[in-house]
């Protein structure tokens, strides 16, 4: 750690506050930009972009872009060189920018004036973020460039036919005095696959209406190596555990199916104790990752999908120690429903493992997993809306993790199933009064039959997935 970078150890970051916030783009924003770009133009030469207000902007493709190859998306990332050092501190603020460092040879303190934004200062992040936001606004609105911005990274998307005009970005930055980090000895070039924000954005399959986000080369190998070191050491160092948790947390977000929640739970528990010896189950949770990464496919984004999504409602009920689950599926004319009771053995295991007498999340999480297991053929490769009526379950499914180990196991299996099916789930909350899955979770079927739902027999469920 360079002392100049640590502005928390001696209280610098605690000496001031910022009430405002800055907006930063990220991986999702770049994905949205890629998706919008590939969907804007149709084969008949029309362009249509729908704004967040609902207003639709329409036009006609220029002749040069009628060729599909000319409008094929490519991208790159411009990274500012020594970004913070390119932003000087106002002379009027010099009195607040004096730092003292201990000189190891002179055995005395020496005082220095900061001339540029220090990397480890909290308010420097805010100050630089405002400058970076300004640059992004200029590039996007004054040069009409499809740009995103995350701190000092500026991902850019262009159609292949207008790459030359896209170079206006570095020309403007140079005009304003900003230095761009060189890649292979020069300014980054446009490509159908480019690296930014710690991931690889892959648009090589845009013609097949798919975009992909992959991990940077070497990250998977690093995770496997760290896990091997941790498993072999009876009391692994905190540095290894912290590094692994950060790598796993970021990596799983880029894989299709955000499973591996149990491993994150184990790492969190190990970091919370001074000395923790791995159990057999915890070891298995960690060793899952090298196997998973060997076959995990990239995060995939479907484009130009006109088919309506499959809608699934789920519910869990815990009435007097009788735990039931229910789910209904709606897709066009198809109406299916399922319901059943969770075995007493499984309920007991949940309570013992979670250390709680009252079950809250597990009965709400399980039906989402069962629905994917039972109706896999109906949801494979499709957009999927899943409505749950519990905020805790909703949050766990979205994050792909949970602080409760039994819940983390269910969430892990849910996302593993998503990866198997290649479906695209969106999870949200529905009020209990508006949840049609409330009835089958309690064994009530009359209203669903009246509405034309076809019941999936409980016998077809076999053992509940959490018991496998």
Query: Residue 215: beta bridge partners?
Result: 199
pLDDT in tens, 220-229: 899 999 999 8
Q: Which CATH code of 3.40.50.2300, 3.30.420.10, 2.60.120.10, 3.30.450.20 fits the domain covering 308-467?
A: 3.30.420.10
Contact (CB, 8 A) for 60 and 45:
yes
In the chain, domain spans: 1-215, 219-301, 308-467
pLDDT at 5: 62
Which residues, at least 6 apart from 443, have a Cβ–Cβ distance to it below 8 Å?
A: 324, 339
What does pLDDT average to in each consecutive run of 10 residues of the chain (468 residues)?
67 82 84 88 86 90 84 92 91 87 92 89 86 92 90 92 91 93 91 91 86 87 90 80 86 76 81 78 85 81 83 89 90 93 85 73 92 92 92 91 84 88 91 93 92 78 40
* Measured distance CA(440)–CA(340) in Å, rounded: 7
Furthest-apart CA pair in the chain: how many Å?
88
pLDDT at 355 (0 to 100): 67
315-324 confidence digits (pLDDT tens): 998 877 788 9
End-to-end alpha carbon distance in the chain: 47
Instruction: Please tell me the predicted confidence (pLDDT) of residue 464.
Output: 40
pTM: 0.77
- Rounded to whole angstroms, the Cα distance separating 109 from 99 reads 10
């Amino acid at each position: 750690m360079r002392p100049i970078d640590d502005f928390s150890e001696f209280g610098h970051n605690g000496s001031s506050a910022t009430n405002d916030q800055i907006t930063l783009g990220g991986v999702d924003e770049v994905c949205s930009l890629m998706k919008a770009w590939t969907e804007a133009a149709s084969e008949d030469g029309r362009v249509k972009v729908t704004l967040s207000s609902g207003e639709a902007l329409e036009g006609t493709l220029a002749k040069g872009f009628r060729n599909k190859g000319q409008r094929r998306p490519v991208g790159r990332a411009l990274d500012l060189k020594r970004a913070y050092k390119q932003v000087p501190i106002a002379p009027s603020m010099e009195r607040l920018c004096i730092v003292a460092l201990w000189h190891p040879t002179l055995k005395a303190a020496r005082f220095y004036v900061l001339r540029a934004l220090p990397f480890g200062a909290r308010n420097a992040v805010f100050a630089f973020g405002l400058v970076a936001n300004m640059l992004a606004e200029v590039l996007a609105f004054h040069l009409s460039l499809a740009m995103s911005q995350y701190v000092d990274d500026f991902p850019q998307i262009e159609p292949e036919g207008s790459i030359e005009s896209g170079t206006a970005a570095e020309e403007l930055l140079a005009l304003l005095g900003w230095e761009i980090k060189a890649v292979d000895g020069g300014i980054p070039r446009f490509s159908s696959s480019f690296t930014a924000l710690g991931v690889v954005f892959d648009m090589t399959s845009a013609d097949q209406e798919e975009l992909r986000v992959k991990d940077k080369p070497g990250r998977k190998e690093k995770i496997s190596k760290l896990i091997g070191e941790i498993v072999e050491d009876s009391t692994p160092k905190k540095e290894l555990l912290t590094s692994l948790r950060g790598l796993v947390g970021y990596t799983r977000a880029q894989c299709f199916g955000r499973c591996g929640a149990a491993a994150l739970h184990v790492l969190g528990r190990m970091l919370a104790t001074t000395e923790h010896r791995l159990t057999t189950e915890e070891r298995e949770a960690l060793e899952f990752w090298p196997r998973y990464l060997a076959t995990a496919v990239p995060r995939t984004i479907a484009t130009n999908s006109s088919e309506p999504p499959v809608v699934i409602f789920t519910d869990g009920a815990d009435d007097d120690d009788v735990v039931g689950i229910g789910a209904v599926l709606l897709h066009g004319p198809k109406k299916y429903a399922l319901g059943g009771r969770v075995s007493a053995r499984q309920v007991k295991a949940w309570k013992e493992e979670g250390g709680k007498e009252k079950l809250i999340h597990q009965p709400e999480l399980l039906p989402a997993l069962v629905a994917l297991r039972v109706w896999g053929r109906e949801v494979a490769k499709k957009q999927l809306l899943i409505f749950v009526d519990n905020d805790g379950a909703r949050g766990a499914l979205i994050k792909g993790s949970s602080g409760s180990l039994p819940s983390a196991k269910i969430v892990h299996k849910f996302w593993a199933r998503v990866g198997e099916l290649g479906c695209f789930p969106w999870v949200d909350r529905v009020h209990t009064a508006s949840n049609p899955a409330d009835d089958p979770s309690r064994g009530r079927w009359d209203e669903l039959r009246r509405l034309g739902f076809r019941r999936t027999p409980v016998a077809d469920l076999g053992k509940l997935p959490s018991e496998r």
